Amino acid sequence: MSLVPSECVHRIRTSDGVASGRARFFTVARLMTNMEFAELLKTLEPNLPCGEDLEYDPEFLQLQQATVGKSEQQFGATIIPAQPPDWRNVEKLALALLERTRDLRVIAFLTQAWAETRGLPGYAEGVALAASTLEHYWEDVHPRLDVYGEEDPMPRMNALASLGDPLGCARSARSAVLLDDVHGKLSMRDAESLLEGSKTDTDYPGGRPRLTESLRQAWLGPEPAVLAVSDAAAALRRIQEHTTSRLGGSWSPDFAGVLRSLDTIRRVWSDMDSGTGVAPETPPEAFEPEAAAGAAPAAAVSTAAAEQRPTIVQNVVRWQEAQITSREEAAAMLAKVCAYFEAHEPSHPAPVLIRRVQQLIPLSFHEILRNLAPQGLDQFEAWIPRDAENRTHTGS
């Protein structure tokens, strides 16, 4: 089975589609085609839908070892630096195991490998695969709930929790590139820090206003990495909801850290959905692998998908008609003008002057004068009206 990065359409049925008796479609950036996704969800054997538990199989142990990497080694005076895991090899080993078993631990390793090699779309795809596997094979997926005749959800919960591990999958996702433009690459971690205010505006040209505008444009683009933010958040919540419905809220995996990061980014475009203040995507239910074989031709599905996007796009006016209603929007517009000159007319001096104006926007008049003409500050202060007490004292 060859998994090559491609942009295609997944057929996912939302609760709205179920209620109306027809499926809704969304255009999303996917690493796998419908058929490849269905291949990883198909039943392996009639009597063992998820195959054998391969926890102690040599290939499983090899996969675990491959995710560790190599520590620093010293031979006499020679020091061999530590080496990170070969994530391409981890992906290869995980996919080979998934031909023999349906195991959430293997899917978690695969998810981190995809996050490392393919960024946020890879992370979203892996989490979606875990969610769909859990929903389709709750009783049979490994680790099973019953161990030696007694129910023990802990091994399964540990496997699911690894999808949000701040030192594993979540770290790989937060380190992945979210935006890549003329100013360079910005990771999800840095974008989150900038939006929350823990990272200063000077670390990113144009600051938070330009980042907000760039993220909204990337969502409408659509850019795969930005779409993956919503996809990943929706899939993680599917896992939590399904686990809660089966075992109760006390067993719901803790994805608070990674969901906080994803939601911080998602909120940037959430107010674009008819002003409702909610995110434009509806958390999808399980992907339907049985629909993949008879799925509509790509062109037809893409047309159906495109019909859904105007619910967002229709609220965006042409830039010539845009009305600036706040200081933040004005700063964002200046950032866009500056970005144009830096990208298309790099020798033009306009960006230098615009950046100077951007620095002055948050200052008071007195601070601006001190910033622009410090030598004239004393003369200006001589003309400032004095208060009554000062005038009385001067007159006496």
Lookup result for tokens 């996919």 = 95
Q: Which of 110-119, 253-262, 309-318 has the lowest mean pLDDT?
A: 309-318
What is the structure's pLDDT at 34?
Answer: 73
pLDDT, average across residues 161-175: 95
Sequence ranges of the domains in the chain: 15-71+82-313, 325-395
Highest mean pLDDT among 4-18, 19-33, 137-151, 286-300: 137-151
Distance CA 215, CA 265 (A): 8
What is the structure's pLDDT at 243?
Answer: 96
What is the structure's pLDDT at 271?
Answer: 60
Distance CA 219, CA 209 (A): 16
360 CB-near residues (< 8 Å, 6+ apart): 368, 371, 372
DSSP state of 164: G
pLDDT tops 80 at residue 84: yes
C-alpha closest to that of 259 among 170, 162, 158: 170
Identity at 354, one-letter amino acid code: I
Residue 213 pLDDT class (50, 70, 90 cuts) = confident
Tell me how far CA of residue 189 lies from CA of 44, 109, 170, 266, 372, in angstroms.
39, 21, 10, 13, 35
Start-to-end CA distance of the chain, whole Å, equals 95
What is the structure's pLDDT at 16?
Answer: 35
201 CB-near residues (< 8 Å, 6+ apart): 194, 207, 208
Residue 247 pLDDT class (50, 70, 90 cuts) = very high
Query: What are the tokens at 86?
Result: 């070969």
* % pLDDT > 90, the chain: 41
pLDDT, average across residues 76-85: 82
Q: Which of 57-66, 162-171, 346-355 has the lowest mean pLDDT?
A: 346-355
Q: What is the 3-state secondary structure (H, E, C) of 289-325?
A: HHHCCCCCCHHHHHHHHHHHCHHHHCCCCCHHHCCCC
* % pLDDT > 70, the chain: 72
What is the structure's pLDDT at 254?
Answer: 92
What is the structure's pLDDT at 299?
Answer: 37
What does the angle CA 132 – CA 135 – CA 140 come to, to the nearest 5 degrees?
110
Q: Which of 10-14, 26-30, 268-272, 316-320 has the lowest mean pLDDT?
A: 10-14
pLDDT, average across residues 167-188: 90
C-alpha closest to that of 165 among 212, 200, 201, 130: 130
What is the structure's pLDDT at 388?
Answer: 52
Query: What are the tokens at 233?
Result: 């958040």
287 CB-near residues (< 8 Å, 6+ apart): 10, 11, 12, 37, 41, 128, 132
Task: Record the pTM.
Answer: 0.64
Identity at 63, one-letter amino acid code: L
Distance CA 239, CA 286 (A): 10
What is the structure's pLDDT at 309?
Answer: 40
What is the structure's pLDDT at 287?
Answer: 42
What is the structure's pLDDT at 333?
Answer: 77
More confident residue, 298 or 176: 176
Residues 140/49, Cβ–Cβ less than 8 Å: yes
The beta strand positions in 50-115, using DSSP E, are 73-75, 78-80
What does the angle CA 116 – CA 177 – CA 123 come to, to the nearest 5 degrees?
45
More confident residue, 172 or 370: 172
